């Protein structure tokens, strides 16, 4: 039962991380669409935040897949 809770918790974390990554991607998109070239200096910081959020989502997703594979076996 504890493993199931862990998987459910991990699913929630993956969902939250995906939402955060999508928000950062949207902010980056808005920068490109609406504020460039004037706000070009914001690119590195916004891109890094988006990258970090996507990396967090990828790591959590991989953990979830591993847990689900272990449970299935």
| Segment 15-67, tens digit of pLDDT | 999 999 999 999 999 999 999 999 999 999 999 999 999 999 999 999 999 99
- Whole-model pTM above 0.85? yes
Phi-psi region of 36 (alpha: psi -120 to 50; beta: other; left: phi over 0): beta
Above 80 in pLDDT, residue 4? no
Above 80 in pLDDT, residue 3? no
Boundaries of every domain in the chain: 2-72
Above 60 in pLDDT, residue 69? yes
pLDDT of residue 2: 46
- Class level of CATH domain 2-72: mainly alpha
């Amino acid at each position: 039962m504890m493993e199931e809770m862990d998987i459910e918790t991990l699913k929630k974390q993956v969902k939250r991380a995906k939402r955060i990554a999508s928000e950062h991607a949207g902010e980056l998109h808005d920068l490109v669409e609406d504020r460039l070239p004037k706000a070009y200096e914001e690119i590195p910081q916004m891109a890094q935040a988006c990258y970090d959020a996507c990396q967090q989502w990828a790591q959590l997703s991989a953990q979830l897949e591993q847990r689900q594979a272990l449970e299935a076996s």
